[in-house]
Structure 1
Amino acid sequence: MSGNGRRLLVLLACVLVLACVAGAAVWRASDRAHAKDRVQPGGPTVASGAVSLTAGGPQRIVFRSMAWGPHRDELATVPAGDPDGPRTASGVKCLRFYAAGGTGICLQAVHGPVSDSYRAVVLDAGLHVTRKVDLAGIPTRARVSPSGRMVAWTVFVGGDSYAGTDFSTRTSILDTRTGALEPTLEDYTVTRDGSRLRAADLNFWGVTFADDRHFYATVATGGHTYLIRGDTATKAAVTVHGNVECPSLSPDGTRIAYKKRVPGLPADAPWRLYVLDLATGREHATAETRDVDDQAVWSDDHTLVYALPGDYGSDLYSVPADGTGAPRLLTRSALAPAYLP
Structure 2
Amino acid sequence: MNKRLLITLTAAVLLGGVAVGYTALSGAAPDNAAQSVPSSGGPRLMVLSNGKLSTVSRTDPAGSREVTAQNCDRVYEAAGTISCLRPVGALKAGELAVLNHDFKELKTVPLTGFPNRTRVSASGRMVAWTLFVDGHSYAANGFSTSTGIYDTKTGTLVTSLEEFAVEGMPARPVDTNYWGVTFTADDNRFYATMSTGGHRYLLEGDFAARTVKPLNDFDNVECPSLSPDGTRIAYKKAVEGDPQKGWRVSVLDLASRKITELAETRSVDDQPAWVDDKTVAYSLQREDGLNDVWSVPADGSGTPAILVPEASSPAPIS
TM-score range, shorter chain: 0.7 to 0.9
Give the corresponding residue for 1:47.
Answer: 34
1:258-291 CA deviation, whole Å, 9 max, x = no partner? 0100128772x52111111111222121010000
1:313 Cα deviation (Å)?
A: 2.2
Alignment equivalent of 2:110, drawn from 130, 134, 141: 134
Change (3 A) 1:220 1:89: same
Task: Calculate the TM-score normalised by the size of structure 1.
Answer: 0.81
Partner of 1:14: none
Q: Give the deviation of 1:76 after TM superposition.
A: 0.8
- Deviation (angstroms), 1:36: 9.1
* 1:44 to 1:207, Cα distance in 2 relative to 1, 3 A: farther
Residue-by-residue CA offset, 1:196-215 (whole Å, 9 max, x unaligned):
56321111000001031111
1:221 is aligned to 196
Q: Distance in 2 between matches of 1:248 and 1:105?
A: 16
1:85 maps to a residue whose letter is G
Q: How many residues align?
A: 296
SS, match of residue 263 in structure 1: helix
The 1:128–1:275 alpha-carbon spacing in structure 2 relative to 1, beyond 3 Å, is same
Corresponding position of 1:35:
24
Change (3 A) 1:197 1:80: farther
Query: Given the alignment of the two structures, is residue 150 of structure 1 paired with residue 126 of structure 2, yes or no?
Result: yes
CA deviation after TM superposition for structure 1 residue 189, in Å: 1.5
1:44-83 equivalences under 5 Å are 45-51=32-38, 58-66=42-50, 73-83=51-61
In structure 1, give the amino acid aligned to 2:121. S
CA distance in 2, matches of 1:243, 1:171: 19
Structure 1 range deviating more: 279-288 or 289-298 = 279-288
Q: Pick from 89, 100, 104: which aligns with 1:111?
A: 89
Kindly indicate whether the alpha-carbon contact (under 8 Å) linking 2:83 and 2:118 is maintained by their aligned counterparts in 1: yes
**Offset of residue 44 of structure 1:** 5.0
Alignment match, 1:12 = none
Which of 231, 247, 262 aligns to 2:206? It is 231
Match of 2:317 in 1: 340
Deviations 1:125-178 (A, max 9, x none): 111111111112000000001111110000001111111222000100001122
Name the Cα RMSD after superposition.
2.2
Looking at structure 1, the residues matched to 26 and 149 of structure 2 have their Cα atoms a distance apart, in angstroms, of: 37
CA 1:276–1:242: 2 relative to 1, 3 Å: same
**Counterpart residue number, 1:4:** none
* Counterpart check, 1:88 vs 2:66: yes
- Identical positions, percent: 47
The residue identity in structure 1 corresponding to 2:220 is N
8 Å CA contact 1:44, 1:84 repeated in 2: no
Aligned 8 A contact 1:314 1:334 in 2: yes
Q: CA deviation at 1:78?
A: 1.0
Tell me, yes or no, if the aligned pair for 2:138 and 2:243 is still in contact at 8 Å: no
* Residue 284 of structure 2 corresponds to residue 284 of structure 1: no
Using a 3 Å threshold, how does the CA distance of structure 1 residues 38 and 298 change in structure 2: closer, same or farther? closer
Residues 1:37 and 1:148: Cα distance change in structure 2 (over 3 Å): closer
Q: 1:200 aligns with which of 150, 174, 185?
A: 174
Return the letter of the residue paired with 1:98.
Y
Picking from 233, 239, 244, the partner of 1:256 is 233
Map Cα deviations across residues 190-246 of structure 1 (whole Å, 9 max, x no partner): 22xx45563211110000010311110000111111111111000112122322100
| Superimposed CA distance per residue, residues 66-97 of structure 1 (whole angstroms, 9 cap, x where no aligned partner) | 2xxxxxx1111111011111111111110000
1:239-260 C-alpha deviation (Å, 9 max, x unpaired) = 2232210000001111110010
